[in-house]
Amino acid sequence: MDYVHLGKSGLKVSRLCLGTMNFGPYTSDEESFRIMNRALELGINFFDTANVYGWDKGAGYTEQLIGKWLSEEPSRRDKIVLATKVYGKMGEGPNDLDLSAYHIKKACEDSLKRLKTDHIDLYQMHHIDRNTPWDEIYQAMEQLVSEGKIIYMGSSNFAAWNLAEAFYKAKERNFLGIISEQSIYSLRNRHIELEVIPACKAFGIGLIPWSPLGGGILCGVLENAKEGRRTREQLQKSVGKLRPQLEAYEKLCKDIGQKPADVALAWVLSNPAVTSPIIGPRTVEQLEDNYNALNLKLDEDTLKKLDEIWPGPGNQAPEAYAW
């Protein structure tokens, strides 16, 4: 396993990040434990979750599950970089969501209890909050840092100008600020090539792509998977719209003798701006398949063909649409 710095920080994380969104609603507790155990064995030290994960089992369920796993063998805590998120609705009260200082403090303390740990390594804002000023957000985060409850902070689903604003506001306060951004990024969805990726490069922000397999559509979906998230109605509608591209994509993968999921993940990893794509295995077997993508290096001809099938904007802004 290779390890790289997370953005401008001195923190080193594995080239794959274990996403836990499936733990609970789609993956049993027992299999979730096996996945985390195997991830450690494979050298994956970057684990990502969120306080809202759990879905039909209830917000916070996934964090509780990870907490049980950590308490089962306390030495595991020092072997991982633990990341979680704040923003989503965690109760019925008017302050049980978003990024007010009030909610950030309470949400962090609640996450610590569920995760059964005394600190969070990377505390991420799950979405931009357009109604809370940066001074308030940073005041809350600075307090959590000073109390030893979080070490670093990151963002998710931010626009490039949000990252710029956050960068300069942190500089005013002599605060480290955001070191990572989680954005949706895959062959299917390349919007962030316009501005978010250039912003990450400019500000020393590590890029953590979520949904690098396009929500399952890049995993060989035409093979008619019978179980899991690939059976969702929304995904099946996307298959109908993208069938010509999917047929060309899966044929290309077959021609080069590689699994579609491995090709999709290897493509994301080939971008030098990417730190660690988030994988979301439902089984140990899927985890090991994802791991194999680390050894797949796509040649220039294959990368060109992938661009033809799944075209991006062609350049960063403004060159993508102006001179």
As annotated, the active-site residues are 53
Q: Which of 92, 80, 98, 264 is nearest to 186 (CA)?
A: 264
Burial code of 119-145, b = ≥16 C-beta within 10 A, e = fewer? bbbbbbbbbbbeebebeebbebbbebb
Between the alpha carbon of residue 56 and those of residues 20, 26, 63, 153, the distances in Å are: 15, 10, 14, 28
3-state secondary structure of 18: strand
Q: 153 has which bridge partners?
A: 123, 178
Q: Which of 92, 96, 152 is nearest to 120 (CA)?
A: 152
Q: 23 has which bridge partners?
A: 27
Helical ranges in the chain per DSSP H: 29-41, 61-72, 101-115, 134-146, 160-172, 196-203, 233-255, 260-269, 284-292, 300-309
* Dihedral angle sign, alpha carbons of residues 33, 148, 183, 54: positive
CB atoms within 10 A of CB 283: 17
